A = this chain, B = another copy of it.
Amino acid sequence: MVNEQEFLAGYDPRAYPAVAVTVDVVALTIRDGELQVLLIQRAAPPFAGFWALPGGFVRPEEDIAVAARREFAEETGLGGEPLRRVHFEQLASYGTPDRDPRMRIFSIAYLAFAPDLPEPSAGSDAGDAQWLAVTALPTRELAFDHRKIVEDGLERARSKLEYTPLATRFVGEEFTIADLREVYETVWGHPLHAGNFHRKVLSVPGLVEGTGATTEHGGPRGGPRARLYRAGDARLLHPALLRPAREETVR
């Protein structure tokens, strides 16, 4: 047996097969009314030409969370205040021995949420980056185990909408209840009852707070001006905003 102490006490790392640690980022945004994920096209083998999650090596003195933000920033060209507004959280780690054909690579995946980001090619050094609607994922082959990572990220996102104010991270500073409802409908993938949603959002303490203002105009197809809100100070929603029960996933 090799336990941690023995390993660390007598271990010469260079005598063992090398391992590497990377971060991969599942960056989600809502564009054109669709939930989209950021992908980059691989230039070199393996999986050359395939699409993959943005990510890379964690630098020797770099914290993991910092590495995730850095990789995201490099691919999107985002910086400053807009970057600070992006929500990051650790998703999970992936380390199946053969997940990369070249060597043992552990990947720590992060999830990033941001409102309506611009096309990534603009400011980034990788013109081969794009947002892909998650509904188009089934028809696209991804490199490595990145499909699994994206699926885990999507499930996490759907689930966190239920009991955290995460949805407010997908909209701008000020938003209407309908904006928020669109986020829920887009991420969960099905329509919600507008009246009940409205009542619920206003009744959960700390989810939103009114600004007193309304939109300048009604909606593009009519309707009155909507009141504007900004995110409240809640960190957890109580009671939660639950997805309609999905019998299939329960058993």
Contacts and interface: CB of A to CB of B under 8 A. Distances in A.
A216 interface: no
A9 B44 contact: yes
A236 B57 CA distance: 36
A90 interface: yes
Interface stretch (A60-68, A111-119, A189-197, A222-230): A60-68
Contact of A57 (B2, B24, B105): B2
A222 B9 CA distance: 55
A4 B56 contact: yes
Interface stretch (A30-38, A91-99, A130-138): A91-99
A205 interface: yes
A7 B63 CA distance: 18
B125 A108 contact: no
Contacts of A104: 60
A64 B93 contact: yes
Interface stretch (A12-20, A79-87, A176-184): A12-20
Q: How large is the interface on A (under 10, 10 to 19, 20 to 34, 35 or more residues)?
A: 35 or more
A234 B249 CA distance: 9
Given A7-B57, A60-B97, A90-B93, 20 more contacts: A1-B125, A2-B57, A3-B55, A4-B55, A6-B44, A7-B20, A7-B22, A8-B44, A8-B100, A14-B14, A21-B21, A58-B95, A62-B97, A63-B97, A90-B92, A93-B93, A95-B108, A106-B108, A206-B250, A238-B245
User: What are the 9 closest A-B residue pairs judged by CB atoms, nearest first?
Assistant: A13-B18, A4-B56, A7-B57, A64-B95, A3-B56, A93-B93, A9-B44, A5-B44, A17-B60
